[in-house]
Structure 1
Amino acid sequence: MTVSRRRFLVGGAATLAAAGAAFGALDAVDGTLVQHGLHKLGVARSPDLVLPRPPLTELNGSFDSRYLKRSVGWRITRPPGSAPLDGVLVCLHGYGGNHLWAFDVVHVPAAAAHVGLRVAVAGVDGGHDSYWHRRADGTDALAMLLDEFVPLVRRRVGHHRQALMGWSMGGYGALLAAERSRPEWVAVAPASPALWLAAADTAPGAFDSPADFAANDVFTGEQTLAGLGIAVACGTEDPFYAATRALVARMDFPHHTWFTYGFHDAPFWRAAAPVQLRDIAPSFRAA
């Protein structure tokens, strides 16, 4: 059956109107619920920031990880030329992602160039749903990161000051890695970290048990982050916003936050990245 452009537009408008009416009825109860609904429909989204891609030297490879029991992909980029690097950004991807997340989703090298940071950007495949910690099946993405990937990055680009970035699952992982291996890092910049205040609230598969949640709870180790450059970003419409605010409230030491309108999506992460990198830049350059 052929549908005319007019009928298509009218039908689409009617659908959106019906959705708007339904969410409008909820608005008096919970405005955030309305925004989440509109976001799922594709009507609402975070403000985006698309930056020009800078010239890069790119390395790609893989290694057999004894901690993940499989081959693990990685990518490292750096600005061309022989000028010294300010440091290295080690990036942890979100749920369902891989080592290309920092490059293809968030465009971290472009964000770094935008704020004048000359850094190598390194991404590694931590697993579809590892949540960057040791799991009941014996795999351990955190050990892979610290004991296998970080040494690989040093062999490839040399010893430099290192910072962590991460998004969603990787934002949680970046916090956990910084807390567990404090001397390795000068800064941590999580965006929309996947945080929960209780084991009963966690997403299916994020932790193996309440005991696993307790053993890897970043709320018990936030004081170890004191002295690092810290730049936390989260959208006010993000489902992890309340828990992220709760974690930051426990930080009785200098830190930066960027809480503004946005959802749990790539546009927000792209917009946040230059802000976060600008905030942690002094940690790379401290005497």
Structure 2
Amino acid sequence: MVRFSKLPFRLLVRKYGCDVTYTSMIMSDSFRLSAAKRSHEFVTSQDETGPVITQFAANTVEDFIGASQLVVGYCDGVDLNCGCPQKWAMHEGYGAALLYSPQKIFDIVRQFRNQVEHEAAFSMSVKLRLLSSLNETVDLYRQIEKCGVSFIGVHSRTHQMRTEPADHDQLAEIKKSLQIPVVANGDCFNLEDYRLISEKTKAHGVMSARGLLENPALFAGYENTPLCCIEDFLKLCVKYGFNFVSFKKLFYWMIERNCSKSERLNILACNSMSQFLDYFKDNFNSDFSIR
């Protein structure tokens, strides 16, 4: 079985101050139908002591419900991704495309509440983006709230926006308009960003994706990924298994801020874990070894 380094990464960010972790976005249709897909995408451990949310891409009730039923008892909740802006997702009707087919979102949330056996603690959340106006956005979110969603995560950009600053002023207004918890997303790259977003939006939590990829110790207050965090990641990968190509990509992101381009390219050129470890020990002043 090929195992990816997603479980080690979740355990890593948990160790460095992250309260709730998400899986990467999983395609619900293939997850529901393929045991091989499930073994690739969904690996959990009893060592995950805090809440874990399984994030699904879906554009039908059947796929989302079927996939969700398979993870009940193995995580703490499921999330419907309505925020991914990638062209393939928009073209296929996934991610942010669902914002323009809101009835699908309503049906998925309602049917989840009707069909999926779960305890009160098992959550069903939705990750969203902004629409073209605040009124449209608030109206949509209120309708989703009425369907019985546990909480929402809001990326404070429209699906067309890329590098423009996240609009946390809009998110603050959205938060005032809803009764359910709201988690803020967008432009959280360090602990000061977290504090500013929390203060401005009054959100119940702040989510980070790119920020944590670049620095898994973000919520512990480190400005860049410390050596101890990198070594912890290596230990977790060795303990729980990993795919070397996936591992290299994650490692590349972790060192991108404070290593030269040539150093990063040398990492990508490594063809095995032993070759990587030799380079790592020689260039990062580390005595890490696999025992």
TM-score when normalising by structure 2:
0.34
| Structure ranking higher in strand proportion | 1
